[in-house]
Structure 1
Amino acid sequence: MRSHYCGELRSGHIDQEVVLCGWVHRRRDHGGVIFVDLRDRDGLVQVVFDPDRADIFATAEQVRSEYVLRVVGRVRRRPAGTENEELATGEVEVLGTEVTVLNSAETPPMQLDEHGVEVSEELRLRYRYLDLRRPEMQQRLRVRSRITQMLRSFLDEHGFLDTETPILTKSTPEGARDYLVPSRVHPGEFYALPQSPQLFKQLLMMSGLDRYYQIARCFRDEDLRADRQPEFTQLDIEVSFMTEDELMGLMEEMIRTLFRTILDVELPDPLPRLTYAEAMRRYGSDRPDLRVPLELVDIADLLRDVDFKVFAGPAQDPEGRVAALRLPRGGELTRKEIDDYTKFVGIYGAKGLAYIKVNDWATKGRDGLQSPILKFLPDAAVEGIMTRTGAVDGDLIFFGADKANVVNEALGALRVKLGQDRGLMAEGWHPLWVVDFPMFERDAQTGRWMALHHPFTAPKEDQLDLLEETPGACQSRAYDMVLNGTEIGGGSIRIHREAVQRRIFCLLNISDEQAEDRFGFLLKALKYGCPPHGGIAFGLDRLVMLMTGAGSIRDVMAFPKTQSAACLLTSAPSQVDPAQLNELSLRVKLRA
């Protein structure tokens, strides 16, 4: 039906007859000559219709935006001075000799060319098939396809086997809520859609498969954000007989190859590593954005004995933290700007945002500082703060004092926002590994220990004795890859001995009966010669979002859901016929 894609025509095609199919991107009538920008997935090419071919010209006069055309014509060089350097096809045009309207189109509810006004995301999702015609969206999906192709090639070359795992599986409620699927042939019983292939990929290692991967669809019924969806895609990987260093090294090589191939970017070799403790201490986050040069500085030891309880209380609290954040040239901030930043940290639970403006410390000392809190701080504390933060004239120092988690979240977020607002963000890509995570965290409401990653993560071998004695001090063999402040992949070495897995379940308050009910198949498999193994999963949607510069993972997925987990295109979820419910032995009872 066609000989070429629109976007592939170049000067080398001049004088060739071509057959093109595509959509009318734009139609222009210039003094009796009609120009049509014809678009397909490869790009645009200008088609010219002269009035000396009356029948063809009459058809061209009738076409409008988004009509579907088949055009036969001859490629020729554009007249001098009319070339379009912004188009890959900008040196040439096609003189139309035949045109067939394959389908007409109503006026679209949104403009699809580059001159279109911003449209709401709701409208874009409702007419997603139109939104996906936009070159920007098509380019993102093309990049996504290239990314998955390259990742598959790398893993295939390194001996990994692409293996599918079940979509209908057993509900093992830990972490996010499961999406449940009722069974018709087993009335009253349910499957769950997988939150990840975690247990199946571990079973594949027990099966001797040695190296597994899968581009897996996963489902989580959780509250959504810009980088979350109820169904998402991850590159899932598991290997046997590898240490974490060996596995991390191989994954580094894969990501470096990906960026080199897709973006022509060289990432560091090796990637830098930060322990969890250091990341939290310096950046207030376990996914630090290294593009921002600002760092948190601990000052609790300088303030334990001051009369200012706002600082002294957290400084004396074993679970508290007092930290400072120096902003170079921050003395330029107005009071309104400081008030706005105070409101910003309030989102993260901070009760306020103390500060010191450094106006003239060099010559006036304490008298050259400006702050409502100075009257509460002795000279020794002020001297210590200035020395430790390295503040100089013109700077501003922000303070956080509260429970450590509140200070970390508030100042960690403020650090990134200041970097963005003040033009401090470095260019380029800044990946790293975060390692040595705690095994457990204590739930603030129940007081129970919770697995920081998941209950199948192995503790460090030399810390097994800490499991029952001081679980909060036990570190895991987990590792996360972080890129520009976003976690793109996370994994761990797994527990491969039944006795250790049972100890972890016990610590997490999972009784023997619950363990057998939820994970009995795993515990049984661990008895039959399970090899040491570990793995990682990369969020494919998130990775593509970063590499394409999109603002949300919804912009790199063909048919995403809204923040309320609805599909505006198909109106899902929706009610179903009562007869279907009856087949499933179900009755709907709405909450009051």
Structure 2
Amino acid sequence: MEQLSREYRDRVLNQVSEEDVGKTLRLAGWIENIRDHGGVSFLDLRDMYGVMQIVLRDTSLLEGLTKEDCISVEGLIEHRDEDTYNPKIPTGTIELDASSIRVLGKVYQQLPFEIITSKETREDVRLKYRYLDLRNPKVRDNMIFRSRVISFLRQKMTDMGFLEIQTPILCASSPEGARDYIVPSRKFKGKFYALPQAPQQYKQLLMVSGFDKYFQIAPCFRDEDARADRSPGEFYQLDFEMSFATQEDVFRVGEEVLTQTFEKFAPEGAAVTKAPYPIISYKQAMLEFGSDKPDLRNPLRIIDVTEFFQRCTFRPFLKKTVRAIKVHAEMSKGFHEKLLAFANSIGMPGLGYLEVQEDLSYKGPIDKFIPSDMKKELMDLAGLEAGDTLFFISDKEKQAALFAGQIRNELGERLGLMEKNAFRFCFINDFPMYEYDPEEKKMIFTHNPFSMPQGGLDALEHQNAEDILAYQYDIVCNGVELSSGAVRNHDVKIMEKAFEIAGYTKEDLKKKFGALYNAFQFGAPPHAGMAPGIDRMIMLLRGEENIREVIPFPMNGNAQDLMCGAPGEITEMQLREAHIKVRD
């Protein structure tokens, strides 16, 4: 017998092959399955890398063993009988004939679920026993995939000349954006740190410091509710910033990184948008797609027919915004009924439509309200042909856009119009800088308050605030916002005026954003950047519907760590040290 080199195992399971037949090896892992055939028994041994069949001709070795016991097993590698080959695994033609088994970690409790089918278990149970859930090869492979993607991104950014720099986790609270997670100070009574919602101010300060290109795989913390594509608590993004850069410079970097990442890691045969990505203004996106996160796999487009219907006699459309969607597909009466039910479920009172007949006449509930001499005008306006159906959505402008976007998405899905196995990217830019908040009764920033307004100081001083656009942009893929970014405001005078419009005084700036405000007094370079979300990228690439499937230890939808019991109570001593009293 050859000399054994390790205490627990000689090699991992994917390193065992037919070349090892005749060798005595020691292997280690978990018992995935036990099959007792009377005179001979079998174990399936699983480690992180693969599965190996273990044959136990001495059945006394099986005594006391249960599924998921962690064991080290020694024995001779043999060929399997040809009629027992398993082509589903790389080691399917060989097995280990066990001569001894050593239990390294015993299972003392009943398993809460079968490992191999853990994804079919209730999510709360999966998250409570996440360390068991992660043994499932499908769940485990998501984490290995995540590691590979992050490694690629890190290397790609380094190759492009970006310097990886870590920014602080304990920072000052920011009054903009989502809710902060706050951390009490023991040394400074009544004062608090915050966990960073993003490395926003620090990366801008790095540009002022003279670093030309920065990036990091940045953890971000926001106290906000969960969604399918947003994990509560924390998330990771590929954060990068560039000095002496324009919006177009950032676009080129984003396109190169994302295209190469998706081409490398997307499923085989997937179509990935090539650079340059389509650039769609926020205004155009809301009109044509009813969303600032358009899914370009859907070929349907929304058109504005408001002016046309103000000249018709259909009262429900008068003095409202009217949007229309043209579809060329056969639809049954049942289809219309189901689509109407969907429209009602999202808050629409109804859903008008017209069908174009072979003779180019119209059929539908609102045909009689369109004057005869205007029917040709509608046909030209919407580009109608025989067999088309035109759906109508009417409401106040903002709501009409949102409803139209939801109907567009539903039609694309129900009619099977969505492009398969494709990742379609676009930039959304020209976001409004401000909007009016009726609750606070003042102008507020719509997105990042540190963005440069288009037109600079002159626009801030002379344009209506709601008409000012910002150099802000998003990258969207398949209807998911992957990244937000902006050309940053680096000028003190512009900063003062921009925040003044949103109700901040110069003293507010010094108090809340003192580091940036002061730094901009010392020759700040123009700079710009963005931050693609890593969790969302991996969710898309893996085809997962829920972002928690690609995060090693996610919180549940209620922002609870069911495994470790967070948030939890702390001791009276800890409260006293942090100068905190819990009120009832």
Relative to the length of structure 2, the TM-score reads 0.93
1:146 to 136, 145, 148: 148
CA distance in 1, matches of 2:37, 2:354: 65
Amino acid at match of 2:352: A
CA shift for structure 1 position 435: 2.1
Contact 1:144 1:544 in 2 (8 A): yes
Relative to structure 1, the CA distance from residue 351 to residue 445 in structure 2 (aligned partners, 3 Å threshold; closer, same or farther) is farther
1:415 to 408, 412, 422: 408
Relative to structure 1, the CA distance from residue 10 to residue 396 in structure 2 (aligned partners, 3 Å threshold; closer, same or farther) is farther
Where does residue 317 of structure 1 map in the other structure? Answer: none
Amino acid at match of 1:530: A
2:130 to 128, 139, 147: 128
CA distance in 2, matches of 1:89, 1:448: 68
Where does residue 480 of structure 1 map in the other structure? Answer: 474
Relative to structure 1, the CA distance from residue 490 to residue 23 in structure 2 (aligned partners, 3 Å threshold; closer, same or farther) is same
CA distance in 2, matches of 1:117, 1:128: 11
1:275 to 277, 281, 284: 281
Where does residue 39 of structure 2 map in the other structure? Answer: 32
CA shift for structure 1 position 83: 2.5
Contact 1:7 1:40 in 2 (8 A): no
CA distance in 1, matches of 2:465, 2:258: 34
2:393 to 383, 389, 400: 400
Where does residue 111 of structure 1 map in the other structure? Answer: 114
Where does residue 22 of structure 1 map in the other structure? Answer: 29
2:48 to 37, 41, 55: 41
Amino acid at match of 1:345: I
Contact 1:44 1:87 in 2 (8 A): yes
Contact 1:493 1:534 in 2 (8 A): yes
Confirm or deny that 1:253 pairs with 2:256. yes
Amino acid at match of 2:277: L
Where does residue 363 of structure 1 map in the other structure? Answer: 359
Post-superposition Cα deviations, 1:184-221, rounded to whole Å, max 9, x if no partner, equal 11001111111111001100110011111111111111
Match of 2:144, SS? helix
Match of 2:475, SS? strand
Post-superposition Cα deviations, 1:555-591, rounded to whole Å, max 9, x if no partner, equal 111111111111111221112111211222211113x
CA shift for structure 1 position 260: 3.0
CA shift for structure 1 position 251: 1.9
Alignment of structure 1 residues 513-524 onto 2, 5 Å? 513-524=507-518
Contact 1:463 1:474 in 2 (8 A): no
CA shift for structure 1 position 69: 1.1
CA shift for structure 1 position 267: 4.0
CA shift for structure 1 position 41: 1.3
Contact 1:466 1:473 in 2 (8 A): no
Amino acid at match of 1:272: P
CA distance in 2, matches of 1:269, 1:151: 18
Post-superposition Cα deviations, 1:482-531, rounded to whole Å, max 9, x if no partner, equal 11110111111101111111111011111222222101221110010101
Match of 1:572, SS? coil
CA distance in 1, matches of 2:305, 2:504: 40
Q: Structure 2 stretches of 5 or more lacking a match?
A: 1-7
Contact 2:359 2:386 in 1 (8 A): no
Alignment of structure 1 residues 124-523 onto 2, 5 Å? 124-228=126-230, 229-263=232-266, 267-314=273-320, 321-334=321-334, 335-346=336-347, 350-358=348-356, 361-363=357-359, 365-366=361-362, 369-371=363-365, 373-427=366-420, 428-461=422-455, 464-465=458-459, 468-523=462-517
CA shift for structure 1 position 331: 2.6
CA distance in 2, matches of 1:423, 1:306: 33
CA shift for structure 1 position 461: 4.0
Amino acid at match of 1:445: E
Contact 2:25 2:75 in 1 (8 A): yes
Relative to structure 1, the CA distance from residue 85 to residue 273 in structure 2 (aligned partners, 3 Å threshold; closer, same or farther) is farther
Contact 1:345 1:352 in 2 (8 A): no
CA shift for structure 1 position 444: 4.1
CA shift for structure 1 position 31: 4.8
Amino acid at match of 2:34: R
Contact 2:430 2:473 in 1 (8 A): yes
Amino acid at match of 1:397: L
CA distance in 1, matches of 2:457, 2:307: 29
Where does residue 571 of structure 1 map in the other structure? Answer: 565
CA shift for structure 1 position 117: 7.9
Amino acid at match of 2:370: L
Amino acid at match of 2:142: R
| Mean CA deviation greater in 293-302 or 101-110 | 101-110
CA shift for structure 1 position 72: 1.8
CA distance in 2, matches of 1:117, 1:246: 42
Amino acid at match of 2:548: R
CA distance in 2, matches of 1:79, 1:389: 68
Query: What count of residue pairs does the alignment treat as equivalent?
Result: 570
Contact 2:452 2:471 in 1 (8 A): yes
Contact 1:438 1:476 in 2 (8 A): yes
CA distance in 2, matches of 1:150, 1:384: 54
Match of 2:220, SS? strand
Contact 1:234 1:541 in 2 (8 A): yes
CA distance in 2, matches of 1:119, 1:89: 29
Contact 1:163 1:212 in 2 (8 A): yes
Relative to structure 1, the CA distance from residue 477 to residue 190 in structure 2 (aligned partners, 3 Å threshold; closer, same or farther) is same
Where does residue 537 of structure 1 map in the other structure? Answer: 531
Match of 2:439, SS? coil
| Mean CA deviation greater in 15-24 or 280-289 | 15-24
CA shift for structure 1 position 154: 0.9
CA shift for structure 1 position 8: 4.0
Q: Structure 1 stretches of 5 or more lacking a match?
A: 315-320
Relative to structure 1, the CA distance from residue 256 to residue 387 in structure 2 (aligned partners, 3 Å threshold; closer, same or farther) is same
CA shift for structure 1 position 419: 1.6
Where does residue 3 of structure 2 map in the other structure? Answer: none
CA distance in 2, matches of 1:453, 1:89: 54
Amino acid at match of 2:259: R
Where does residue 72 of structure 2 map in the other structure? Answer: 70
Contact 1:303 1:381 in 2 (8 A): no
Match of 1:419, SS? helix
Relative to structure 1, the CA distance from residue 155 to residue 305 in structure 2 (aligned partners, 3 Å threshold; closer, same or farther) is same
Match of 2:214, SS? strand
Contact 1:37 1:46 in 2 (8 A): yes
| Mean CA deviation greater in 379-388 or 167-176 | 379-388
Relative to structure 1, the CA distance from residue 12 to residue 492 in structure 2 (aligned partners, 3 Å threshold; closer, same or farther) is farther
| Mean CA deviation greater in 518-527 or 467-476 | 467-476
Post-superposition Cα deviations, 1:5-47, rounded to whole Å, max 9, x if no partner, equal 2234344444443322111111112353222111111122222
Post-superposition Cα deviations, 1:391-446, rounded to whole Å, max 9, x if no partner, equal 44444322111122212211212212222222111011111222222222332434
Match of 2:83, SS? coil
Post-superposition Cα deviations, 1:282-310, rounded to whole Å, max 9, x if no partner, equal 11111110111111111112111223232
Match of 2:89, SS? coil
CA shift for structure 1 position 550: 1.6
CA distance in 2, matches of 1:419, 1:213: 38
| Mean CA deviation greater in 455-464 or 486-495 | 455-464
Amino acid at match of 1:238: E
Identity among equivalent positions (%) equals: 36
